[in-house]
Amino acid sequence: MRPAAPILLTVLAAAPFASAQTQAPPSPAAAVTRLFSGPVQPAWLAPSFLAALPAEALQAALTGLTGQVGAFVRTEARGELLVAVFERGELNVLAALDEQGRFTDLRFTPLPLTAAEGPGSPREVLSRIFSGPFDASLFAPSFLAAVPEAQLRALLADVTAQFGALKDVQIGAQIAGLIFERGQLNVTQFSLDNQGRVTGLLLTPPPPVFTSLDEARAAFAALPGQVSLLVQEVGATAPAVALNVTRPLAVGSTFKLAILAELQSQVNAGQKQWTDEVTLTDADRSLPSGTLQDAPTGSRYTLRDLAARMIAQSDNTATDLLLGVVGRAGVEARFGQRPFPSTREAFALKNPGNAALLAEYRAAVLNVPARRAVLDRARMAPLPAATDFAGGPLARDVEWFATPATLCRLMAGVAALKETQLNPGVADPARFRSVSYKGGSEPGVLNLTTQITTLTGRTYCVSATWNAPGPLQEDAFVGLYGATLDLLR
């Protein structure tokens, strides 16, 4: 019910602001600053942009982005780059405006690392951090406030103890490789302030590299717990990879594809319009992920805005609002699970304080009407606290269960919607013609489902699920998944 993978916003199509009378159109830097400084206005976006992504959907995507990297601070010109600076990171901005200053294209990508040599270069700073004695002056005060000096010393000492001495720093376009005596780490986020001090640093193990889909299948099969993997080319009669694909597993928020599919169907049938509005009430509030649970009562949202929040941010409150709009019958038919709980109902059943409700739900087993009656009561029951999940998975049988074939079928039906393309998940959009993604996770549950079209025009769905009774090594699973996608490029 929270997204499994971090959001990298990639918005395709759009254009700047229609300026008043003789006022000069804004520069890209000014247009981006304005975009983050207030509610998105349709007048700032070109018609071609609005046709692909309405203003409310862009606003939802930007809200999800700032939820990842903090509040917007400023834009900076760094050579040929336009950089958006946030509280907890920096992103490269690729923006195009029309003659009226309206966005025609807007993308945010990780800031490229420079291969420049010499004092103050990323190579030199990383070398000093990982090979010399500890030097707190290499880190900005904001970094040391987040990671205290004693903790940072211990972390760097652990790296040296595990991997040995640093041998080389290899700078790439988006990541740097730290080559040690006994292994390698990747620097996937790295930023310096204007004094050359570290403001952001994230280390990850290098992803695995597969030479065949058989290797990928074997790597997934070796994971503990229950694992499924489907790699299916659209139009092919047989899957390229099929691992445990007949047993439904818990898939977390990936179930939201079924709600999006039903919403799209009702819009196409003329029963709903994307511009229809829904009012938030206190009874609608769920738990994060997302932000709508904190929105003022009485706030109104279009169906398109809610759809963007449900998919790109995995907003649970937006999800429940849409489920109420489209109804459960169509969603249940598409997903294959009856009854189909809302996120609020599922959270309530997982609340240790509602143990009696959970016992009734379990006792009903295949009695669908009885389970529906329990869900009706759960809708008004108290929600759990975040600390309730600290001990591991809760009520793993209260979930949304699907086979990878079901998820790929659902994704195929909505992959053309921009809502599924706002957050590419694990895939690098630059390596594919198109990427549509939805993932889901909670303690003990992880699913990643992506439909990609390669640069040569072949379309695949890759859906992988992992269930286990304890915490999952999500980074390892994401690494296997990314390596599988790389085989399909």
- Residues 26-72 have pLDDT tens digits of 899 999 999 988 789 999 999 888 877 778 888 888 887 777 667 88
pLDDT band at residue 301 using 50, 70 and 90 as cut-offs: very high
What was the pLDDT predicted at 113? 61
Low-confidence winner among 275-279, 290-294, 400-404, 459-463 (lowest mean pLDDT): 290-294
What was the pLDDT predicted at 17? 27
What was the pLDDT predicted at 38? 79
- Report the C-alpha gap between 312 and 321 in whole angstroms: 16
Does residue 297 sit in the same domain as residue 332?
yes
The string of DSSP letters for 447-472 reads: EEEEEEE-TTS-EEEEEEEEE-SS--
Q: What is the pTM of this model?
A: 0.74
- Report the C-alpha gap between 224 and 477 in whole angstroms: 11
What was the pLDDT predicted at 428? 87
Average pLDDT over residues 62-86: 81
Average pLDDT over residues 14-31: 59
Q: Is the per-residue pLDDT at 3 higher than 60?
A: no
Does residue 328 sit in the same domain as residue 384?
yes
Task: Assess if residue 313 is contained within a domain.
Answer: yes
Which H/E stretch holds residue 77? strand 72-78
Which of 348, 369, 389 terminates a domain? The answer is 389
The total domain count for the chain is 4
Question: Torsion angle of alpha carbons 319, 324, 329, 332, nearest 10°?
Answer: 20
Q: Is the per-residue pLDDT at 420 higher than 60?
A: yes
- The CATH number given to whatever domain includes residue 241 is 3.40.710.10
What was the pLDDT predicted at 10? 27
Does residue 217 sit in the same domain as residue 200?
no
State the chain's mean pLDDT as an integer.
Answer: 89
Does residue 56 sit in the same domain as residue 106?
yes
Does residue 186 sit in the same domain as residue 226?
no
Which H/E stretch holds residue 231? strand 226-233
- Report the C-alpha gap between 487 and 489 in whole angstroms: 6
Dmax (CA) of the chain: 71
Q: Is the per-residue pLDDT at 16 higher than 60?
A: no
- Encode pLDDT of 470-479 as tens digits: 889 898 899 9
Low-confidence winner among 143-152, 172-181, 219-228, 339-348 (lowest mean pLDDT): 172-181
Which of 204, 223, 258 terminates a domain? The answer is 204
Low-confidence winner among 182-186, 380-384, 412-416, 442-446 (lowest mean pLDDT): 182-186
Average pLDDT over residues 458-466: 99
- Report the C-alpha gap between 417 and 303 in whole angstroms: 13
Average pLDDT over residues 297-306: 96
Percent of the chain with pLDDT over 90: 64
Average pLDDT over residues 210-216: 98
The string of DSSP letters for 314-328 reads: --HHHHHHHHHHH-H
Does residue 82 sit in the same domain as residue 142?
no
Percent of the chain with pLDDT over 70: 91
Yes or no: say if 417 and 267 are a contact pair by the CB < 8 Å rule. Answer: no
Which of 204, 239, 262 terminates a domain? The answer is 204
Q: Is the per-residue pLDDT at 2 higher than 60?
A: no
Task: Assess if residue 257 is contained within a domain.
Answer: no
Task: Assess if residue 48 is contained within a domain.
Answer: yes
Neighbours of 455 (CB within 10 A): 10
Does residue 285 sit in the same domain as residue 319?
yes
Does residue 328 sit in the same domain as residue 383?
yes
Task: Assess if residue 92 is contained within a domain.
Answer: yes
User: Which domain, by its residues, includes 41?
Assistant: 10-110
- Report the C-alpha gap between 256 and 335 in whole angstroms: 10
Average pLDDT over residues 60-89: 80
pLDDT band at residue 160 using 50, 70 and 90 as cut-offs: very high
pLDDT band at residue 18 using 50, 70 and 90 as cut-offs: very low
What residues contact residue 192 under an 8 Å CB cut-off, 6+ apart? 120, 122, 125, 198, 199
Average pLDDT over residues 137-143: 92
Does residue 134 sit in the same domain as residue 174?
yes
Task: Assess if residue 116 is contained within a domain.
Answer: no
Yes or no: say if 192 and 198 are a contact pair by the CB < 8 Å rule. Answer: yes
Does residue 382 sit in the same domain as residue 474?
no
- Report the C-alpha gap between 467 and 252 in whole angstroms: 10
Does residue 231 sit in the same domain as residue 181?
no
What was the pLDDT predicted at 21? 40
Low-confidence winner among 210-219, 360-369, 389-398 (lowest mean pLDDT): 389-398
Average pLDDT over residues 92-117: 78
What was the pLDDT predicted at 193? 79
Average pLDDT over residues 311-330: 97
What was the pLDDT predicted at 61? 81
Task: Assess if residue 84 is contained within a domain.
Answer: yes
- Beta-bridged to residue 438, according to DSSP, are 449
Q: Is the per-residue pLDDT at 360 higher than 50?
A: yes
Task: Assess if residue 308 is contained within a domain.
Answer: yes
pLDDT band at residue 110 using 50, 70 and 90 as cut-offs: low
Task: Assess if residue 261 is contained within a domain.
Answer: no
Q: Is the per-residue pLDDT at 112 higher than 90?
A: no
Q: Is the per-residue pLDDT at 312 higher than 50?
A: yes
List the alpha helices (DSSP H) in 21-137.
Answer: 28-37, 47-52, 55-69, 122-131
- Encode pLDDT of 330-355 as tens digits: 999 999 999 999 999 999 999 999 99
Does residue 434 sit in the same domain as residue 360?
no
